[in-house]
Amino acid sequence: MSTQLCTRTEIDPRGPRFGGTITTIVLAVALITAGSTLSTVLVAWQAVVFGLGAIVGLYAQPYGIVYRRIIGPRLAPPVALEDAAPPRFAQAVGLVFMTVALLSIALGATAVASVAIGLALAAAFLNAAFDFCLGCEMYLLGKRALVQ
């Protein structure tokens, strides 16, 4: 006997992990070059990527498109599909960190920007290396704290 939650859009779970890998690399370069124009451009680009994934949908997320068009077709079919809602929520969390980073850069607070980038990088790395969604874990804690 099992009570099911409602059905949702499904995706190949390797897509978000590929995206997490690219995100980790992009943000690592942004950290190494912190304070430069290149760093700002990379953070802005990553903000756009997260924004597309979170607001429009995972099908519009650039790294997801690369995975579906180029990587996925060359791999064996996925063993199981996964719900699209958790990775999409993670994109929204990433967008928040990138927004904080961009605002900090605009205000000249490079160190604060680097911390925000570092937190997003840690989350993306956990996703890529361990298939672990940090933003998803924070969701229930956030609900517990905010909803009476």
Partner 1 sequence: MTGIVILCVALVAATAFGLWRRATDGRMHDVRPVPDADDAPPGQLHIADRGEHGGDVLTAAALGTSVLGSRATFVQFSSAFCAPCRATRVVLADVAATNPGVVHVDIDAESHLDLVRALHIRRTPTVLVLDARGVIRQRASGATRKADALHALDALNEP
| Residues near partner 1 (CB under 8 A) | 1-5, 13, 28, 30-35, 39, 82-83, 85-87, 89-90, 110-111, 114-115, 117-119, 121-123, 125-126, 129-133, 135-137, 139-141, 143-144, 147
Rounded least distance, CB 74 to partner 1, Å:
24
User: Which runs of E-coded beta strand occur in 20-138?
Assistant: 82-83
Nearer to partner 1, 59 or 132 (CB): 132
Least spacing, CB of residue 132 vs partner 1, in Å: 6
Among residues 118, 124, 119, the alpha carbon closest in space to that of 20 is found at 124
Write down the least CB distance from residue 101 to partner 1, Å.
11
Instruction: Rank residues 70 and 137 by Cβ distance to partner 1 and give the closer one.
Output: 137
Task: Compute the distance between CA of residue 5 and CA of residue 8 in angstroms, rounded to an integer.
Answer: 9
CB-side neighbour CA atoms (13 Å) of 129 = 8
SS3 33: coil
